[in-house]
Structure 1
Amino acid sequence: MGRTSRLMRLDAFTKTVEDARIRTTSGGLVTIFSVLVIFFLVIGEFNDYRKVTVISELVVDKARGEQMEIHLNVTFPRVPCELLSLDVMDVSGDLQASVSHGVEKHRLDKFGTIIESSYLEVHPEHPKHLDPDYCGECYGANAPETSTKHGCCQTCDDVREAYAAKGWAFGDGTGVHQCEEEGYKERIKEQAEEGCRIDGHLWVNKVIGNFHIAPGKSFSNAQMHVHDLQNYLQSDVDHDFTHTINNLAFGPPLPTNLLHERHHQQNPLDGTSKHTKDRNYNYLYFLKIVSTSYEHLDGGYTINTHQYSVTSHERSLEGGKDEVHPGTVHAKGGIPGVFFSYDISPMKVINREVRMKSFAGFLTGVCAVIGGTLTVAAALDRGLYEGARRMGKVHQR
């Protein structure tokens, strides 16, 4: 009994006798109001606990020897697919001429409707008109290693490859038996007024480099990368490199919530359109690429991608002056087309998802909401009760 009495003296939550309690209408209203306030405030605390934010960290990119994926979708309304080639080169000496793997050409009519779609092919299907024992002439050039028959130029494309290796202009294939049999010249004329959309992806070394879309087959001549422009420049149709970049991305896209927080596109060139009526016109985009990773909250997955900033220049190869910065003078000459020159930043951005509030913080907030609301409600109820009682005494007098 002695120990029990000592514990009773320590009781901070003294009880009242049921008969001594007074229930009032105002107390009931305050109670209902308090419950509603507690309910909405607890929901707010729960929403804060569930809310996820993204914290960005800038670190040195230590990755070496990696490859980078480029997603490309560009429309050229006034250059036929037959005249376009896609090349990739970098400072390591890697050269991908007339890229074929993973890239698709869409032939477009003058209204932009797709006529035909086909993957870029360095060597098309073996022509059916050839005799199995046929050995085509290479017209003074050396047969390419990719020819279906060693030492022979079996197709028109074999002859083009052989000429490119020599650094010779090829033209429309007039006088070349293989091209005349395949109707190469007629195919160029048939597509002369068409447009083209190039769509696909490339894999490149993660080093400084460039890729470009230009007319004619490319080849190296005295350590220079050049294109056979004869068919493009001598065409009766006025071709030009008006274009729309529908999409240009390096790696997979970032999550939508991260892009929303940053209020800008991951790919600043998406939807970019350029217009010209000059056949000899060059567009150059300088890209600064930053490696970017996105780490999900529960560690279930990590997205490794890239973001980039861009500076664009354009110039006429006839006038020799930059159209964006008139004071900058360029040397005359060059290749018409669209060029993308990219540089790799030594830094990397890491985006991590984190909760704004821990579970312990959530429980603390709930306790504070309940305790604070009940304390304020008790004070309010006491004030209403005392006010009503004093008003009753005044009326009794």
Structure 2
Amino acid sequence: MARSSRLTRLDAFSKTVEDARIKTTSGGIVTLISVLVVMYLIAGEVGDYRRIEVVPELIVDKSRGEQLPISLNITFPHMPCNLLTLDVMDVSGEQQSGVTHGIHLTRLSKFPESSPIDITALDLHADEAPHLAPDYCGECYGATPPDGKKCCNTCTEVREAYEKMGWAFGLGEGVTQCEREHYGEHIKAMSEEGCNISGHLQVNKVVGNFHFAPGKSFSTPQMHVHDLQQFFESPKEHKLSHTIHHLSFGPDLPVGEVSHNPLDGATHEAPERAYNYMYFIKVVSTSFLPLGVKPGQDGAIETHQYSVTSHERSLQGGSDKEHPDTLHARGGIPGVFFSYDISPMKVVNREVRQRTFVGLLTGICAIIGGTLTVATLVDRTVYEGLGKMKKMHEG
């Protein structure tokens, strides 16, 4: 009994007997309002607990030997597909000329209709002669035959031989193989068309560039050049106007967690044939870690974001119309160039909860306790006020 008596003196929750309790209408109203307020505030606390925010973190990118994925979709409304060439090169010395693997060329009708004509690979030699004499050996017209061959039996082989020598080829006038396959006629038939280029590339994750330029490309130890004869001699004035529907370096992040790719939807109209566009891109490695996922685990998204600045100029050189004090260099290759640089930093976006479960419980207890305390004061004030008013009326 002594121990129970000592604990009784510590009781902070004194009780009143049932007969000493008074229930009033005003008290019922205050109680009902208090319950509604508590429910509303607890719902807000639970909503805050369930809310997930993305916290960015900047670290040094320690990855090595990775490949950089490039996804692109670009339309050239005034350039036929047979004239466009996609090349990739980087500072490591690796070059990819005339890239076709993973790339889809869609021929488009004459601008402004620009509707798809064909999505298959270009066939400029559809009329290749199927029946040649077994001992036939076509001339290479002064060029060295392609690797592993002694003759140039088709227009393609003559073109490859010319490319190997670094010679311009043109429409193949005077070349028996090309005249037999109607190569020049196919080229002229496509002169009014446009072209859409879409697909994916894999490049080394080092400083480099990929570009679209007219004519077959070939490289020497000193330079990288294109056969521009068809481009400049064509009666149709081809221009490098283009629309970038999509350009990204990796998979898209969840909607709302990253800004739109900067170049998506960009459109440029070339004022003349000899024109050059350059996009300078800074690529930043980016990771997205959903709630509870750690780096390297399934569910983590590895991609890249980028920023870009652009420059355009006429290859004729001269002063800038908008900036008279600026002089543009003369010469160069007409085309659309994308030069990319790799940032040494990496952005890690983590999904985290704003509040912990312990914080949720603490908040709920604070809401209940605070609401009941305030309700008690309000009820006491109302009860005593009504009591005094009743006495005043009776008196």
TM-score, with length taken from structure 2: 0.93
1:160-198 CA distance string (max 9 Å, x none): 222111100000112223322332211111111111111
Distance 1:359 1:272 in 2: 46
Q: Counterpart in 1 of 2:7?
A: 7
**Mean CA deviation greater in 155-164 or 57-66:** 155-164
Q: Counterpart in 2 of 1:345?
A: 343
Q: Counterpart in 2 of 1:115?
A: 117
Q: Counterpart in 2 of 1:16?
A: 16
Distance 1:153 1:348 in 2: 52
Alpha-carbon contact 1:315-1:321 (below 8 Å) kept: no
Distance 1:158 1:376 in 2: 92
TM superposition shift of 1:3: 2.1
Alpha-carbon contact 2:127-2:182 (below 8 Å) kept: no
Give 1:342's aligned amino acid: Y
Alpha-carbon contact 2:276-2:315 (below 8 Å) kept: yes
- Taking a change above 3 Å as real, the CA distance of residues 64 and 104 of structure 1, as seen in their structure-2 partners, is same
Q: How many residues align?
A: 388
Alpha-carbon contact 1:316-1:322 (below 8 Å) kept: no
- Taking a change above 3 Å as real, the CA distance of residues 343 and 6 of structure 1, as seen in their structure-2 partners, is same
1:135-159 CA distance string (max 9 Å, x none): 54332223334xxx74343432222
Distance 1:109 1:328 in 2: 38
Give 1:307's aligned amino acid: Q
Q: Counterpart in 2 of 1:294?
A: 288
Distance 1:128 1:396 in 2: 122
Q: Counterpart in 1 of 2:197?
A: 198
Alpha-carbon contact 1:136-1:155 (below 8 Å) kept: yes
**Mean CA deviation greater in 347-356 or 175-184:** 175-184
Q: Counterpart in 1 of 2:141?
A: 139
Q: Counterpart in 2 of 1:223?
A: 222
Alpha-carbon contact 2:317-2:329 (below 8 Å) kept: no
Distance 1:130 1:334 in 2: 44
Q: Which runs of 5+ in 2 are unaligned?
A: none
Paired residue secondary structure (1:118): coil
TM superposition shift of 1:322: 5.5
Q: Counterpart in 1 of 2:98?
A: 98
Pair 1:283 & 2:261 matched: no
TM superposition shift of 1:11: 1.5
TM superposition shift of 1:276: 1.9
Distance 1:45 1:386 in 2: 34
Distance 1:246 1:327 in 2: 34
TM superposition shift of 1:127: 4.6
Q: Counterpart in 1 of 2:162?
A: 163
1:75-134 CA distance string (max 9 Å, x none): 11101011101000001010000001100011111201101112579x989956254945
TM superposition shift of 1:23: 0.9
Alpha-carbon contact 1:314-1:324 (below 8 Å) kept: no
- Taking a change above 3 Å as real, the CA distance of residues 86 and 93 of structure 1, as seen in their structure-2 partners, is same
Distance 1:171 1:312 in 2: 32
**Mean CA deviation greater in 28-37 or 296-305:** 296-305
Paired residue secondary structure (1:141): coil
TM superposition shift of 1:281: 0.5
Alpha-carbon contact 2:108-2:196 (below 8 Å) kept: yes
**Mean CA deviation greater in 233-242 or 14-23:** 14-23
Distance 1:155 1:307 in 2: 45
Distance 1:364 1:117 in 2: 63
Paired residue secondary structure (1:258): coil
Q: Which runs of 5+ in 1 are unaligned?
A: none
Q: Counterpart in 1 of 2:83?
A: 83
1:199-224 CA distance string (max 9 Å, x none): 01111001111110010000113521
- Taking a change above 3 Å as real, the CA distance of residues 125 and 236 of structure 1, as seen in their structure-2 partners, is closer
Quote the RMSD (CA, aligned, Å). Answer: 2.1
Q: Counterpart in 2 of 1:314?
A: 312
Alpha-carbon contact 1:317-1:332 (below 8 Å) kept: yes
Give 2:269's aligned amino acid: H
- Taking a change above 3 Å as real, the CA distance of residues 196 and 5 of structure 1, as seen in their structure-2 partners, is same
- Taking a change above 3 Å as real, the CA distance of residues 23 and 2 of structure 1, as seen in their structure-2 partners, is same
